[in-house]
Each structure stands twice: as structure tokens, then as C-alpha cells.
Amino acid sequence: MLKCQLTGTFARSPLHIRATRDYDRGRLTEADLEKVRKDDVRRLINYQEDFQYITDGGFLWQDLLRPFTFLKGVESGALTRFFRTNTFYRKPVIKDKIKANPKFIESFYYLDLISERRKVILPGPVSLFNLSEDRYKRDTLFIIAQVLARVSEFLEKQGIACIQFSEPYLHFAKVIEVDHWKEAYGILTENLAADTLLHIPWCDFSHLLEILEFPVKSVGIDFIATSLDNLEFKTQKKIGIGCIDAQNSLLETKEKVRGFVNRVVKKLALKEFFICPNIDLEFLPYSVSLKKLELLRGVSEKI
């Protein structure tokens, strides 16, 4: 397999965007929209056929936290800008102890369309907690970790090979609570055998090196936000090298990216690694996202 993965939601095709708008305006049936959406999923799966793991693009996720606004004990709050982007997320409002039948998560993936090496992406407990409004205020972080653990264990039983926990909040954290975060991940991954990836988009990783001690098998680093010159660590974990810039429509050259990856691997003496976009490719136009995907493949083939 090529040493590459997608680490976030993917851009929708122009047809998919148009179909979604037509559906919202009552011009298209749900079945027609579903057909267009599945065509996008199948196309993306084909692009990833020799990647380490395969995702469905997250086309059923309106935002990273949305599925968790439907759980008992949680309400859907105000639309809130998602960091520095032009997108918004629906803020979860936690009003009581969260309860969930983990089977609910099935309706947010097209798992039946992926035959092998399936990967799913979930919000990490730190981001889910800090990007919500907590009115319950009783060890809510650890309750969230328990809920995510049950969801992850359910997904693993469905044959999921890799579970990614995305932690965009870490970039904006005013207080670094590494001990609490590590404890939450201990709860989350205690019974998981799948490849667990903690991915940190938007973030300068140089001030978060303690995360390498968290009980996960892989850590994804945003090397667009992180200077290699300021980074020094040793680890046995698999490292995701986020070197494809999903914030910029300008297309990198294969030679430049390949040279940078080789420098990262050499300087940090990495035993295992893969390359990936630094953040979700959904923030770029569809045509550019496909070109970035081809770049990812082209670089991987020569590493």
C-alpha cells in the first residue's frame, strides 16, 4: 500500500453541491440526492484504492460535531464559525449526562461501499468537549471520552481498521491540560485494537510534544503550521506528515514535497510514517482537491 491517507472530509463535486441546494429547495427528491452523493463516494474510494486506509469523504457529516448533537443529554445550539474558515458548525449544548446507543453512528458513514482497509474519522474528546457548551459540568470531558470509546468499539466490531480522532481545538487552546487530555485518551483507547490516529490540524505541534505519550498508535502533524526547524523528538509511533496544503489552492510540486518528506523522516528518524493533507480538503474547490489527491499519490509512489 502507498504511504498516504486522507485525514478529513473531502470537497463535494459541483454536481453534488447543486443537488444538495436543489434538495434543500424542494426541487430534488432525497433518493436523487443520495444517488449523486454515492457517486461522489465511489469516485473518491477509487482514488484511494491503494492508500493505507480508505475513507468515504465524510459527505454525511454537516460538520465535525453534528452527529453528536442528536444524542440524549445534548441539544443542537447556535451556528458558530469554525475557526478561521467560512464554514460553520452547530454548537452542541450539553445539558445532562450524555447517553448513546453507539449504533447511531452507522447512519453517518457509507461503510457498505468500502470493502477493505476502512477508516472512519471522529471528533477527538478534547475538541468535542471544548467546542460544546457544557451546562452539565460534571466530569463532562471523561463522559465524552466514554461515549466515544463505545462508538469506537462498535465501529471496530464492524471491521473498521483505523479510527482517527481529529483535534482542531488544540491550536486554539488557551490552557494546555495535557494530563486531563491524556486521561481522556486512556479511557477512549483502552479496549481498542484498531489503528488509532490522533490528528491535529491547524496546529503548531512544537508546543504539544507531550501528545506523543498519549495512548494512540499514530499522531498526525500539520507541517504547514509547524516548522521542521523548531521540531525535535524521538518516537516509535507512526507519524502522519501533513505536508499537502489544504488551505492553499496553489499546487505543490512532487519534487518539493518529496524532498520535504525525506527531510522530516531523516531529522526525526521516523520508523513508520505516512503523508497526508494538513487539514480537510473540503476547504478547497473540488477540482483542486482532486489535484491535491493525485499529488499525494504521486509523492507516495516514490517514497
In-domain check, residue 6: no
In-domain check, residue 171: yes
Whole-number mean pLDDT of the chain? 95
Give the least confident one: 31-45, 80-94, 207-221. Answer: 80-94
Count of structural domains within the chain: 1
Cα four-point dihedral sign 183, 187, 190, 194: negative
Q: What are the C-alpha distances in Å from 85 to residues 2, 61, 80, 246, 247?
A: 30, 17, 11, 12, 9
Q: What is the DSSP string of 38-53?
A: HHHHHHHHHHTTTBSS
Return the C-alpha cell found at 16: 453534488
In-domain check, residue 124: yes
In-domain check, residue 128: yes
Give residue-wise pLDDT tens across range 152-163: 999 999 999 999
Give residue-wise pLDDT tens across range 251-293: 999 999 999 999 999 999 999 999 999 999 999 999 999 999 9
In-domain check, residue 280: yes
Query: Locate cell 445532562: which residue?
Result: 96
In-domain check, residue 2: no
CATH number at residue 110: 3.20.20.210
In-domain check, residue 102: yes
Residue 4 near residue 300, CB atoms below 8 Å: yes
The backbone region for 194, taken as left when phi is positive above 0, alpha when psi lies in -120 to 50, beta otherwise, is: beta
Domain that holds residue 45: 14-300
* Per-residue confidence (pLDDT) for residue 188, from 0 to 100: 97
Give residue-wise pLDDT tens across range 210-258: 999 999 999 999 999 999 998 999 999 999 999 999 999 999 999 999 9
Residue 129 near residue 86, CB atoms below 8 Å: no
In-domain check, residue 88: yes
